[in-house]
Amino acid sequence: MAASPLLTPAPPAGSSLRPAEYAEICRHLGREPTPVELGMYEVMWSEHCAYKHSRAVLRRLPTSGPRVLRGPGHNAGAVAVGGGWAAVFKMESHNHPSAVDPLHGAATGVGGIVRDVLAMGARPIALLDSLRFGPLDLPGVRRLVRGVISGIASYGNSIGVPTVGGELACAPCYTRTPLVNVACLGVVREDRIATARAAGPGSAVVYLGARTGRDGMHGAAFASAELAGRPADRAAVQMGDPFTGKLLIEATLEILATGAVVALQDMGAAGLTGAMSEMAARGGVGMDVDVALVPRREAGMSPAEVLLSESQERMLLVVQAGREDEVLRIGRRFGLEAVVIGRVTAEPRLVVREGPEVVVSLDPRHLTSAPEYAPEAREPVLSDEVRRLEGTRLAAVAPEEALFRLLGSPGIASKRWVYRQYDHMVQTNTVVPPGADAALLRLKEVPPKGVALTVDGNGRWCALDPYVGSLRVVCEAAQNLACLGAVPVAATDCLNFGNPERPEVFWTFRRAVEGISRACEALGIPVISGNVSFYNEEGGQAIFPTPTVAMLGLVEDTARHATPGWKREGDLVVLLGTGCPQLDGSEYLAVVHGQVAGRLREPDLEAVGRTIRCVREAVARGLLASAHDCGDGGLAVALAECCIAGRRGAALTLRTGDGARADEILFGEDVGRIVVSLSPGALPDLMGIARGLGVGVEVVGLTGGGRLVVGTGGPTPPWIDVAVEDLARAWEGGWS
């Protein structure tokens, strides 16, 4: 470990560090790093761990609010939900691992996000997933889909955490680079939120969980590069054990209840290296650790392998000196490895030994302080053909045919085949299960309150205009919560993009974050946690820019909520809001005409907010029998979904403006429009709420019968006149 005489050292061949980064490391250390230290810097300064290209942009997001207890920078965000309780919420990606090994990649994505929530001291109570794949008729795609769904189900079901909602869509750009984003919600008392800030020189550093193996080696670096798709990449994919994961949840919560834990963190990205260095850096302290004491699954593992392994189901705890045995006994009672592997030191220095030999000696604050980059940003040049959508050039398609094609498309068709594989009722909190605009869970700790969850994303919109597309994604999520009757209180995001070192990609990323920020500020929704996933491309072919937003809402009384399906014969069908539907960027254009084109109009965020409030208040007052937003596929699809969910039809008459096209009225998309049904006697009260908020109200028809009939009135035949049974058959057969 003597000082190097090199003035301008170059990184060793094969290193992922840039020459300038390696030079900075040598300057700080006063020498060249040891091979073990080099590996630690490579993972901790990777994009996955360090957010080198995104940190500055992410600072634009609104992160504070009256309910926020913990924001970005912690293992997960936390918001107050009443009665002294907090909801802990975060979303992560496991895209690259799922592309290489769909089952294990998705399963360990669930395990990882669950442990992030657990590391806040919270009991995980629900999962959401947001998934993207290539077209189903392409080779290998169905295998990917089945593997990912099986991975999510096998892990979530085994650990007893219900998957209560999600979304799934297909497009060619996701064929080789699928997206697997998973969010987790947990609950904890406000005064028991845990920290990852190490403290107390002399405190014990405790390893808890499964043994360490060679799986997941360099997983963080693997997630910070373009997907190679080589069989060798499988070594970077972790192998999960959900049964050990369940034991770890229960053991950790019982250990936290003793009050002996100073800090804890999941050994996720960068494994033991990440947990040690981040906990020490946050607390401004050091650690002295002997890796020879780390329980191992395989013989002959080197110190570097032990430090960099991302084996699953492992936590690192800092425990008060003198209370180690109390903690170890609990861990071992659950059949877990529980070992003191080191001590906290006052000097901010991370010293790692293998027995008597020192293999690492560095400042953890430097290890966790990677350089920050501001890449060149350049707006992509879209062709005039993509920019301008000439409606007159669209081939004529009968509205009924278009509706059936949309209902059978992967993004809109029933996902029952997916969520029936999930045990979404475990823990008995689920009030509204998967299949509605949002899921609803009761908060047993604070009855009769409940929490609502939803997740949304739209790569088509963001490919055409990342700023407006991201605005719409946030609005869509907030509308989904409003339809259930929930007040949005927090968001978490997962930002999926290509290589940020390409100027067009970075410009798109920056504009998407600006859109999320603007919409969240306008709607008063703080972003309390999140994840950035770059390098989602292969061979220079990037995915659509796909920011996904998971949103958490609060319901004062779980007995007062709405769902999409018509509930009674003879109810009024009312369209709330004044959005301006357009075919540009729509599901109709993509599915029926095979185009992703057009110019998106920026929504009136103030008007959208008023519509959201109107629907929410109407649900809370018990005025609405049903509520459903006009999302993918526009008004016609929303009406068909209400019919299918309620197993009854409706007769509707729509107003048409001058020069309005049938396809635009029926299938155009926008935010700020919600379809509700209610008894005729409740209409005056709804009108009163809407007038007070300046929200448009249009009574468009009545529920009843066995057919969906949509027209403009008068002598002309209706645009749509189909049996609800036929609609349901098309919708339920879309993934067959």
Predicted local distance difference test score (pLDDT) of residue 525? 98
- Check pLDDT > 80 for residue 613: yes
Banded model confidence at residue 383, pLDDT cuts 50, 70, 90: low
Strands (E), 346-476: 350-354, 357-362, 430-432, 439-442, 450-457
> What percent of the chain shows pLDDT beyond 70?
94
Q: What's the token pair of residue 649?
A: 């039809």
Q: Which fold has domain 62-367?
A: Phosphoribosyl-aminoimidazole Synthetase; Chain A, domain 2 (3.90.650)
Q: In the chain, list all ranges with CATH 3.90.650.10.
A: 62-367, 562-736
Summarised one tens digit per residue, pLDDT across range 9-36 is 889 998 999 999 999 999 999 999 999 9
Predicted local distance difference test score (pLDDT) of residue 235? 56
Banded model confidence at residue 382, pLDDT cuts 50, 70, 90: confident
Q: What average pLDDT score do residues 359-375 get?
A: 96
Q: What are phi and psi of 180, to 5 degrees?
A: -130, 100
Q: What average pLDDT score do residues 209-233 get?
A: 65
Helix, strand, coil percentages for the chain (3-state, nearest 5)? 35, 25, 40
> Which one, of 248, 278, 250, lies nearest residue 263 by Cα?
278
Q: Is the pLDDT higher at 127 or at 237?
A: 127
Predicted local distance difference test score (pLDDT) of residue 578? 80
> Which one, of 524, 512, 733, lies nearest residue 612 by Cα?
524
Q: What's the token pair of residue 510?
A: 């920056």
Banded model confidence at residue 5, pLDDT cuts 50, 70, 90: very low
- Identify the weakest region by mean pLDDT among 157-161, 226-230, 639-643: 226-230
Predicted local distance difference test score (pLDDT) of residue 226? 61
244: alpha, beta or left? (left if phi > 0; alpha if psi -120 to 50): alpha
Q: What's the token pair of residue 603?
A: 């929504």
In this structure, are residues 628 and 412 in contact, taking their beta carbons and an 8 Å threshold? Answer: no
- Check pLDDT > 70 for residue 230: no
Summarised one tens digit per residue, pLDDT across range 524-541 is 999 999 999 999 998 888
Predicted local distance difference test score (pLDDT) of residue 663? 93
**Residues 637, 586: Cα–Cα separation, whole Å:** 12
Catalytic machinery residues = 48, 94
* The residue type at 573: V
* Residue 283, SS3 per DSSP: helix
Q: What average pLDDT score do residues 184-191 get?
A: 98
Banded model confidence at residue 734, pLDDT cuts 50, 70, 90: confident
- Check pLDDT > 70 for residue 223: no
First-last CA distance in the chain = 62
Predicted local distance difference test score (pLDDT) of residue 188? 98
**Residues 71, 64: Cα–Cα separation, whole Å:** 7
* Residue 100, SS3 per DSSP: helix
- Check pLDDT > 80 for residue 8: no
For the chain, the average pLDDT equals 94
Superfamily name with CATH number, domain 562-736: PurM-like C-terminal domain (3.90.650.10)
Summarised one tens digit per residue, pLDDT across range 633-690 is 999 999 999 999 999 999 999 988 766 789 999 999 999 999 999 999 999 999 999 9
- Identify the weakest region by mean pLDDT among 302-311, 392-401, 492-501: 392-401
**Residues 476, 516: Cα–Cα separation, whole Å:** 12
> What percent of the chain shows pLDDT beyond 90?
89
Helical ranges in 594-629 per DSSP H: 605-620
* Residue 610, SS3 per DSSP: helix
